[in-house]
Amino acid sequence: MKIRDALKKALSELKAANIGSYGNDAVILLKTALSKDEVFILTHQDYEMEQAEVEQFLELLEKRKERYPIAYITKSKEFFGFNFYVDERVLIPRPETEFLVEEALKIIDSASAKRVVDVGTGSGNIAITLSKLANIKVFASDISHDALALAKLNRDRLTADVEFILSNGIDWLGKKVDIIVSNPPYVSPSEYESLSEDVKFEPKGALIAGEDGTKFIQYLIKEARGRCNYLLIEFGYSQGEFIKKQANLEKVIKDFSGIDRVAVFKFS
């Protein structure tokens, strides 16, 4: 099969499967199957693909048609300008979470806060970004052993100063710290059912929290008091009203869609 024919096949099948990003995705599938860059794909239309490359391409095409996330296919996701390795062990970092990182960086700078903890670190995206950009050591925890193994890989690839702790919640935290940040699971089981098929490939434990999705957020607000000066939490699009009823809320930050997205609590 020539690249030209593979591209044509991917474009028409992804479009027929209602994948909105079918143009980009078709090129990405070929780049991945051939381990080549976009320029090669676009300038070598008559390249005759090897059997193994064709097989790999067809396998990826089938996966994508079933809405397997493109980030799991490329095994990478950009976050705050850094390239993170991702696979099914972790949630794919979202652009909304950059608002939380931006706010944490401002507080680190203005309050010269140095002791920072990230709870539910997943791929390590928040902790690693903060460590690199603020030039500090960050402690990061997760309940998932698999997620931490992947986060360590990212830490080593990006040479960040992050120590990972396998733990349920923040019980492990002994001394008071300056800032606790978290993008916790915040989806309810019923909301989960309505999410797009792509999301269903991500770890359920990274998404669902209790009956109404606020279980982990409530836990953090309660447990962080006395353990930190600032608590920054990302929350769901429908949880703004709940968040605004909580004590010690200093401010709420909206995302680029104008939706309340990050809560900043100040305890001292």
Binding positions for ligand SAM, rule: CB under 6 A: 90-91, 93, 97, 119-123, 125-126, 141-144, 147, 168-169, 183-185, 205-206
Query: Please, which residue, 79 or 265, has the CB nearer to ligand SAM?
Result: 79
Query: Please, which residue, 56 or 188, has the CB nearer to ligand SAM?
Result: 188
Minimum distance, C-beta of residue 155 to ligand SAM, in the bound complex (Å) = 13
What 3-state class would DSSP assign to 195?
coil
CA-CA distance, 133 to 140, in Å (whole number)? 16
Query: Please, which residue, 41 or 126, has the CB nearer to ligand SAM?
Result: 126
Query: Please, which residue, 16 or 259, has the CB nearer to ligand SAM?
Result: 259
Residues 6+ positions from 140 with CB-CB distance below 8 Å: 117, 118, 119, 121, 124, 126, 127, 151, 162, 163, 164, 165
Query: Please, which residue, 56 or 123, has the CB nearer to ligand SAM?
Result: 123
Give the torsion sign (CA, 8, 14, 16, 20). Answer: negative
Minimum distance, C-beta of residue 156 to ligand SAM, in the bound complex (Å) = 18
Minimum distance, C-beta of residue 177 to ligand SAM, in the bound complex (Å) = 16
| Torsion of Cα atoms, 131 then 132 then 135 then 139, to 10° | 10
Minimum distance, C-beta of residue 122 to ligand SAM, in the bound complex (Å) = 3
Query: Please, which residue, 23 or 203, has the CB nearer to ligand SAM?
Result: 203
Helical spans, DSSP H, in the chain: 3-16, 22-34, 38-43, 51-65, 70-74, 97-110, 125-134, 145-158, 189-194, 215-224, 240-244
> Can you tell me which residue has the tokens 């460590």?
131
Closest CA to 235 of 265, 204, 268: 265
Minimum distance, C-beta of residue 185 to ligand SAM, in the bound complex (Å) = 5
Minimum distance, C-beta of residue 51 to ligand SAM, in the bound complex (Å) = 37
Query: Please, which residue, 49 or 86, has the CB nearer to ligand SAM?
Result: 86
DSSP sequence for 83-116: EEE--TTSPPP-TTHHHHHHHHHHHHHHTT---E
Minimum distance, C-beta of residue 38 to ligand SAM, in the bound complex (Å) = 26
Closest CA to 196 of 67, 87, 92: 67
